[in-house]
């Protein structure tokens, strides 16, 4: 039998990463109910969500955070593509190619759309 604390933290990590990547949104693929994750780890909802909150607070994780966005979700994360141009924040996907290339060279976007 695994140490209960390991299950608490493992569940919290899975929940935290799933949460910032919209794993619990039934309109997304893949998706799962948070309650199923708690059940897989054999822990109470309050314990799993509490550990998830601790991890998200500690790691400063939130929705659309590009540091925690899965590569498969990168294209659908609108914040990945927002860059400042002349004091305005714009979606680089709607810019001319040369601006996109410059944003990529500067490390402002993960790849050329």
Handedness of CA 88, 94, 62, 68 (dihedral sign): negative
pLDDT of residue 2: 58
The phi and psi torsions of 61 (rounded to 5 degrees) equal -90, 140
Residue holding tokens 């141009």? 85
Domain spans, the chain: 4-59, 77-105
Six-digit token string for 103 = 């944003």
pLDDT one-digit tens code per residue, 25-72: 998 888 999 999 999 999 999 999 999 999 999 999 987 777 888 888
Q: Is the pTM of this model over 0.85?
A: no
The string of pLDDT tens digits covering residues 83-96 is 988 899 999 999 99
Say whether 3 sits in a helix, a strand or coil. coil
């Amino acid at each position: 039998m695994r140490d209960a604390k390991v299950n608490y933290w493992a569940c919290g990590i899975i929940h935290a990463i799933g949460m910032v990547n919209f794993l619990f949104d039934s309109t997304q693929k893949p998706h799962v109910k948070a309650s199923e994750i708690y059940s897989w780890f054999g822990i109470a909802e309050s314990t799993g969500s509490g550990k998830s909150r601790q991890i998200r607070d500690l790691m400063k994780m939130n929705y659309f955070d590009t540091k925690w966005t899965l590569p498969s979700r990168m294209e659908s994360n609108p914040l990945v593509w927002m860059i400042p141009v002349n004091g305005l924040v714009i979606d680089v996907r709607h810019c001319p190619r040369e601006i996109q290339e410059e944003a990529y060279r500067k490390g402002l976007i993960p790849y050329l759309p």
